[in-house]
């Protein structure tokens, strides 16, 4: 208790010191404002236009700055930090190429509704528009992929802008906000006065839903014989997982969670059917197609979930709960629209929701379907199967790790075979499908949770897009455990070429990739290689026992496919099941 009181006191003293009115530079205002917003870690890469900011950081110890080896690594790490912690992720880059190197990461966060404040430098205000050295119109470039952006022209505006940026990023439908600071603005001095109020004309996200709409949903549940809940990332981002559990179990409604919704509902519960869509489970996809009531909670009816829209959930009355009214009815016609924050809406609904008494036969059918059609694959004692590797990782981590992935087959196998029971334990690029995301995002997740086990599952393709960040783990002793599922090929592209393009494989061979063990060791990171089950288990346990970062390269079967699979142009109940099914 004494230590806790001392910590609280030191935090209060810090906030008092940061809030003190002073005549300081724009750079010092930025650093103070970040501390006042609760920022404890910033990811960045310096350059000419942000040198005043980095000069102000000299000797500054009130938050941690992590120097990545590429700006894209910085923004993906900030993204992973935000997804794992629920706080706003922050990254800094210089003007021109530094700023444009952030674009993919900004788009990744925008598609997945991740709260980021992205700070870029720019040339001095008198040079803007002259094609000055390292000038780029980053606010214009990123306009379609930011929730909002600022070009700061007056140092007096900086405290207000920073406070507004954090508010916008982390309220309503969350997303990235960009603050572009010209070099002269970062050096000008003015009186710093902290801003605590936010008043933005036209920005007032709906939090509580209209009761008549909730009443309509509750009545629909009472009348439904085959109800299904489709839960998405909005549940996780709102912190509404406990309310979702209460809602689903009170009503007794089978539930499927999207790729970004994994962990929003415990996978061990009888009501959980797995993931829907292109690589969804047989039970989840068939249930959606047979449902007479589909309640979408915080998902955006992405095309990888719905597949062929004309034929998706053809028998169902559609309820859609979302913080963003623009998503409701955008892709799938909605019968009962409910606009509001997921956590708040479910709290409202849980007061009145009752058990779906007419759905007893449906629940029994779902349980039987899960038993009859589990996820499965043809195992081997000769070749190392990637599905087995994921199952082994789940078993040895007891399902308690924070798992990040890159994009491709390994991502789908991880989503299928690693079972999540807690929110914010699954971090992956959903909407944009960004290769190179997996490993840097794990660095951010580990910085957010230094005492938790963080596992980064990557393909041999995506790992090479961000391998330089191994230096960050090595130098800072960030104990991420990296699993490389190495099938020597662009696996998901190969699978599509095999199944859809009549096996005409084209430019997918990753032969000539580096020896990942030697590459890791060159960065000072402990590394192992495994080619069979015994080696795989021993290497993985050794990696987990190692106190610092560690890499395990799992050399797996080259031609393995992800099943089930729904091809584009098909409805989600038209599944290719694979040899095992």
- Catalytic machinery residues: 71, 133-134, 183, 492
Separation CA 519–CA 517 (nearest Å): 5
Q: SS3 letters for 534-545?
A: HHHHHHHHHHHH
Separation CA 435–CA 425 (nearest Å): 19
Query: Helix (H, G, I), strand (E, B), or coil: what is residue 526?
Result: strand
Query: Helix (H, G, I), strand (E, B), or coil: what is residue 443?
Result: helix
Q: CA 192 → CA 19, 20, 157, distances in Å?
A: 8, 8, 10
Q: Scanning the structure block, which residue is given the tokens 């990254």?
A: 91
135 neighbors 286 (Cβ within 8 angstroms): no
Separation CA 26–CA 188 (nearest Å): 6
**Nearest to 62, CA basis, from 11, 21, 19:** 11
**Nearest to 548, CA basis, from 492, 470, 485, 433:** 470
323 neighbors 238 (Cβ within 8 angstroms): yes
On the question of a cis peptide bond just before residue 205, with omega within 30 degrees of 0, the verdict is no
Separation CA 132–CA 123 (nearest Å): 7
In eight-state DSSP terms, residue 197 is -
Strands (E), 287-378: 293-297, 317-322, 336-339
418 neighbors 262 (Cβ within 8 angstroms): no
């Amino acid at each position: 208790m004494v230590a806790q009181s001392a910590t609280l006191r030191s935090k209060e003293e810090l906030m008092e010191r940061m809030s003190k009115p002073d005549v300081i530079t724009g750079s010092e205002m930025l650093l103070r404002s970040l501390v006042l917003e609760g920022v404890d870690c910033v990811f960045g890469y310096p350059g000419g236009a942000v040198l005043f900011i980095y000069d102000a950081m000299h000797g500054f110890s009130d938050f941690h700055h992590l120097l990545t080896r590429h700006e894209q690594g910085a923004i993906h790490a900030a993204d992973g930090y935000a997804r794992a912690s629920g706080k706003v992720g922050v990254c800094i880059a210089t003007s021109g190429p530094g700023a444009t190197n952030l674009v993919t990461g900004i788009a990744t966060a925008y598609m997945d509704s991740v709260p980021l404040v992205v700070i870029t430098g720019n040339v001095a205000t008198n040079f803007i528009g002259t094609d000055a050295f390292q000038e780029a119109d980053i606010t214009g470039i990123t306009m379609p992929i930011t929730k909002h952006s600022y070009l700061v022209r007056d140092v007096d505006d900086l405290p207000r802008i920073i406070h507004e940026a954090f508010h916008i990023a982390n309220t309503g439908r969350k997303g990235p906000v960009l603050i572009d600071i010209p070099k002269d603005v970062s050096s000008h001095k003015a009186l710093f006065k902290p801003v605590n109020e936010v008043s933005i004309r036209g920005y007032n996200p709906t939090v509580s839903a209209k009761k008549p709409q909730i009443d309509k949903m509750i009545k629909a549940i009472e009348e439904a014989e085959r109800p299904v809940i489709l839960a998405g990332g909005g549940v996780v981002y709102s912190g509404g997982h406990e309310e979702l559990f209460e809602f689903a179990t009170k009503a007794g409604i089978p539930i499927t969670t999207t790729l970004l919704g994994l962990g929003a509902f415990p996978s061990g519960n009888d009501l959980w059917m797995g993931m829907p869509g292109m690589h969804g489970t047989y039970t989840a996809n068939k249930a959606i197609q047979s449902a007479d009531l589909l309640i979408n909670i915080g998902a955006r009816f992405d095309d990888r979930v719905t597949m062929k829209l004309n034929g998706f959930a053809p028998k169902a009355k559609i309820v859609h709960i979302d913080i963003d009214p623009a998503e409701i009815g955008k892709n799938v016609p909605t019968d009962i629209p409910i606009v509001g924050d997921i956590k708040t809406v479910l709290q409202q609904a849980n007061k009145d929701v009752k058990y779906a008494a007419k759905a007893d036969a449906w629940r029994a059918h779902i349980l039987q379907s899960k038993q009859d059609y589990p996820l499965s694959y043809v195992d081997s004692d000769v070749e190392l199967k990637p599905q087995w590797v994921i199952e082994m990782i789940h078993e040895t981590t007891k399902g308690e790790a924070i798992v990040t992935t890159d994009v491709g087959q390994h991502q789908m196998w991880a989503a299928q075979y690693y079972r999540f029971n807690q929110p914010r334990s699954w971090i992956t690029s959903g909407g944009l499908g960004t290769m190179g995301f997996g490993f840097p995002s794990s660095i951010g997740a580990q910085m957010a949770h230094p005492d938790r086990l963080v596992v980064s599952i990557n393909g041999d393709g995506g790992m090479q897009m961000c391998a330089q960040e191994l230096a960050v783990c090595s130098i800072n002793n960030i104990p991420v455990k990296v699993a490389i599922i190495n099938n020597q090929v662009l696996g998901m592209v190969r699978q599509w070429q095999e199944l859809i393009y009549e096996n005409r494989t084209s430019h997918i061979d990753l032969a000539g990739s580096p020896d990942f063990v030697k590459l890791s060791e060159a960065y000072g990171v402990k590394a192992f290689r495994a080619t069979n089950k015994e080696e795989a288990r021993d290497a993985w346990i050794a990696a987990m026992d190692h106190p610092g970062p560690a890499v395990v390269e799992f050399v797996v079967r080259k031609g393995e496919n992800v099943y089930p699979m729904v091809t584009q142009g098909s409805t989600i109940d038209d599944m290719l099941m694979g040899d095992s099914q």
